[in-house]
Amino acid sequence: MKNVRVARRYATALMSAATELQSLEAVATDLDLVDRSIAASRELRLLMSSPVVSAGKKQAVFRDLYARRISTTTMQFLILMVSKHREPVIEDMIAEFRGMRDERSGIVNVQVTSAVELDPPQQKKLVERLEHVTGKKVRLRLQRDEDIKGGLLVRIGDTVMDSSVRRQLEILRERFVHGGGDSQQTT
């Protein structure tokens, strides 16, 4: 993220306003739309990051794009960010907002990497185990990576649980290179 503190500050302000106005779900839906359109449009990303284009022109573009598609609360907030020259952190603010909303809802995002595709029963069992471990509702994001050879690589926030075959082989290699560690010495 470009500027996490600024993005978090704006996300906190928007979360507070949306909660106070009882429009948290509407704002979240609006932000999803804005995020998808930014991701899909190179021109919009360039416009947002351009120091040459005036804030007034950027605000007009935002109004043209979103006025009939998002709530007044979200629109006013985006216009405020543009007026403060914070449009380069809008995407980061949206990510922070999503994280706060998930935390508030007791949801944790879990990235799982496996060598093979997990079938639905395996996914369900994994979600149940992770929910038991975290004590939260789990949103699973699956990814395949044949390089891990087997097992799973599970990332929950900053915590990584690596039970991949690749990691186990690395551990064995380290033990062999550095003298075993498990061997007993006799005197």
Q: Which pLDDT value is given to residue 23? A: 92
Q: Taking 60 as the threshold, does the pLDDT of residue 187 lie above it? A: no
Q: What is the pLDDT of residues 153-175, one digit of tens each?
A: 788 877 887 777 777 777 778 88
Edge-to-edge strand list for the sheet holding 152-156: 137-144, 107-114, 152-156, 159-162
For 106-177, CATH gives: 3.40.30
Those residues whose C-beta lies under 8 Å from the C-beta of residue 117, and which sit 6 or more positions away, are 142, 144
Percent of the chain with pLDDT over 70: 95
Judge if 4-103 and 106-177 fold alike in CATH terms: no
* Domain extents in the chain: 4-103, 106-177
CATH topology of domain 4-103: Peroxidase; domain 1 (1.10.520)
Q: Would you list the DSSP string of 58-90?
A: HHHHHHHHHTTTS-HHHHHHHHHHHHTT-GGGH
